[in-house]
Amino acid sequence: MADDFVENWTTQTRKGLLDLGVMNAIRGRARYGYEIVKLLRGVPGLVIGEGTIYPILGRLEREGLAATSLEPSPEGPARKYYRLTPRGASVLAEMNDRWDAIGEGIDEIRSEDHAGDD
Amino acid sequence: MLEMTERARRRLEEYMSDARRSLAGDPGLDAAEVLRGLREHVDSELGAARPARGPVTAAEMDGVLERLGAPESLVEAAGAGPKSRPAATWTALAALGLLLVGALLVAGGTALPAAFVLVAAGLLLGRLATGGRVAGRAKDAPGRLLRLVLVASTAALVTALLVAPAVLVWSQAQIGGVLDAARNPGAPPIPGTRAPSYWVYVAGVGALATGVWWLLAGAAAAWWTAAVRRAVGPFPLRLEARHGRVLAATGLGLAAAGLLVVLL
């Protein structure tokens, strides 16, 4: 049951972090889907089903957080590139701030001296 | 254009078709764009250095599709947040219990009709607990419990399908013995009531029935591979037409052997 708990927690955490990862990947420069996947592969445990990136990109576009453009590819058909819109950049800045604050808060709790707890 | 074998092309088409069906469940998503992204991903992943390596094989395609994840998970990813599945967990537990009790009864050879009902109910609940994931991969089922249900229900389903005729013939043979014993109360209990030749005959009939069944099942798997794969998924995801042909040929051999025994 402990494994189930950890797995459930990981799944929930991953869903939120995938958005954050994808948005950070297209911050400052346009990238195409596969390029984003390759970048996120470097984050251990973040991307389980690589196909899930594409609906997320679609949602970001639908919500006006990402804009797209078709660019010719030397390897085949044109590729769809994604980049953050100004609104997307503003939303991401807030998300990054919150993520930093949560991370710092958790780190602080973890680094507290719990010697007296035992 | 990416070159691929016929099998690889079929795998890709099936995946895209499942993905299209899954994405249709969320009208807020532009399914065509997501499918375009998936296809672009496959092309990019397999396109690198391809000219030197020949057409994409089914195994290579399976690897890429597996990394993409189950088509059913695509809509979940687009959703706002995780959904808990406590009902599925309880259903999974109930399914496991039914399968276990049913399997024990079958193994013990007692209350066979009730045992089959329990196994069937366990299978149905198991499929229910794993929801739309039956067409995906085992690892996509949430939690160890559901994976266990998936393994148990699929193993039970495949085993039941393969040995059903033999079990039926055997139980009929036993019933025949019981009826004889009822007619002749003084007779010793089964199976000792029957001469060894009777059980050889039963074995022959069992082999004949099982062989014909395997022949039919193998032919179905060879001709309607995708449909069979979906019906007994997710584990036989790699089921191919040639596996069906092997099963059909084995069935033919078994049926011939059984027929020989029966006739002799």
Task: Give the per-residue pLDDT at A35.
Answer: 92
Residue among A20, A54, A57 with most chain B CBs within 10 A, to mutate: A54
As a residue count, chain A comes to 118
The length of chain B in residues reads 264
Task: Give pairs for B162-165: CB < 8 Å, separation 24+.
Answer: B162/B210, B162/B213, B162/B214, B162/B217, B163/B210, B164/B213, B165/B206, B165/B209, B165/B210, B165/B212, B165/B213
Does residue A89 form part of some domain?
yes
**Per-residue model confidence (pLDDT) at position A73:** 79
Contacts of B111 (CB under 8 A, 6+ apart): B105
Instruction: Check pLDDT > 70 for residue B46.
Output: yes
Is pLDDT larger for residue A99 or for residue B98? A99
pLDDT of A21 above 50: yes
Q: What pTM, to 2 d.p., does this model score?
A: 0.51
Residue B143 pLDDT greater than 60, yes or no: no
Task: For chain A, say whether B92 makes contact (Cβ under 8 Å).
Answer: no
Asked if the Cβ–Cβ distance from A33 to B67 is below 8 Å, we say no
Residue A39 to residues A12, A23, A33, A92, Cα–Cα distance (Å): 21, 12, 10, 18
Indicate whether B235 pLDDT > 80: no
pLDDT beyond 50 at B136: no
Please count the structural domains in chain A: 1
Residue B135 has pLDDT above 50, yes or no: no
Residue A70 in 3-state DSSP? strand
pLDDT of A51 over the 70 cut:
yes
Q: Is the CB of A55 less than 8 angstroms away from the CB of B68?
A: no
| Confidence bin at B92 (pLDDT 50/70/90) | confident
Work out the minimum CA distance from B156 to partner chain A, whole angstroms.
24
Q: Which amino acid is at A98?
A: R
What is the per-residue pLDDT for B121? 81
- CB distance B44–A11 less than 8 Å? no
- Residue at A86 is within a domain: yes
Task: Judge whether residue B239 has pLDDT over 90.
Answer: no
What is the pLDDT at residue A2?
62
pLDDT at B152 over 50: yes
Mean residue pLDDT of chain B comes to 74
The H or E element that residue B42 is part of is helix B31-47
User: Phi and psi of B25, rounded to 5°?
Assistant: -75, -10
pLDDT value at residue A33: 93
Q: In the predicted model, what is the mean pLDDT of residues A91-118?
A: 84
Least confident of A47-56, A61-70, B89-98, B107-116: B107-116
Q: Is the pLDDT of residue A20 over 60?
A: yes
Sign of torsion over alpha carbons A98, A100, A101, A105: positive
pLDDT range class, residue A101, cuts 50, 70, 90: very high
Instruction: Identify the closest residue of chain A to B15 by CA–CA distance.
Output: A51
The answer to whether the complex's ipTM is over 0.85 is no
Q: At what angle do helices B112-129 and B143-183 cross, to 10 degrees?
A: 160
Residue A1: per-residue pLDDT: 53
The pLDDT > 70 percentage for chain A reads 92
Asked if residue A117 belongs to a domain, the reply is no
pLDDT at B142 over 60: no
pLDDT at B88: 58
- What's the pLDDT tens digit per position in B6-45? 999 999 999 998 888 888 777 777 888 889 999 989 988 8
Q: Which long-range contacts (CB under 8 A, 24 or more apart) does B26-30 make?
A: B26/A55, B26/B75, B26/B78, B26/B79, B28/A59, B28/A62, B28/B78, B29/A55, B29/A58, B29/A59, B29/A62, B29/B75, B29/B78, B30/A58, B30/A61, B30/A62
**pLDDT of res. B12:** 92
- Residue pair A59/B78 in contact by the 8 Å Cβ criterion: yes
Residue A10 lies in a domain: yes
Who contacts B7 (Cβ-Cβ below 8 Å, separation ≥6)? Answer: B57, B58, B61, B240
Whether B86 has a pLDDT exceeding 70, the answer reads no
- Which pLDDT does position A65 carry in this prediction? 93
Facing residue for A34 by CB, picked from B33, B45, B142: B45
Residue A88 within a domain: yes
Question: Quick check: B77 pLDDT over 80?
Answer: no
A102 vs B231: CA distance, rounded Å: 45
Which pLDDT band holds residue A23 (cuts at 50, 70, 90)?
very high
Most A CBs within 10 A among B38, B50, B146, hence the mutation to make, goes to B38
Tell me what pLDDT residue A10 has: 80
Q: Report the CATH number at residue A98.
A: 1.10.10.10
**Residues of chain A with a CB closer than 8 angstroms to some CB in chain B:** 3-4, 7-8, 11-12, 15-16, 18, 32-34, 37, 48-59, 61-62, 75-77, 79-80
pLDDT at B147: 63
Q: Is residue A73 part of a domain?
A: yes
Chain A residue numbers with beta carbons less than 8 Å from the beta carbon of B144 are: 3-4, 7
**pLDDT of B47:** 79
pLDDT at residue A32, as a whole number: 94
Given a cut of 70, is residue B155 above it in pLDDT? Answer: yes
- Across the interface, do A49 and B77 touch by the CB < 8 Å criterion? yes
Residues spanned by the domain of A13: 2-112
Residues of B in contact with A32 (CB under 8 A): 40, 44
Out of B1-10, B61-70, B124-133, least confident range: B124-133
Q: Report CA dihedral (A75, B67, A5, B100) to the nearest 10 degrees.
A: 160
Residue B96, pLDDT score? 78
Identify whether A118 is part of a domain: no
Mutation target for A interface from B40, B133, B139: give the one with most A CBs within 10 A.
B40
Distance CA B101, CA B120 (A): 12
Spatial neighbors of B49 by CB under 8 A, at least 6 apart, are none
Higher pLDDT, B146 or B49: B146
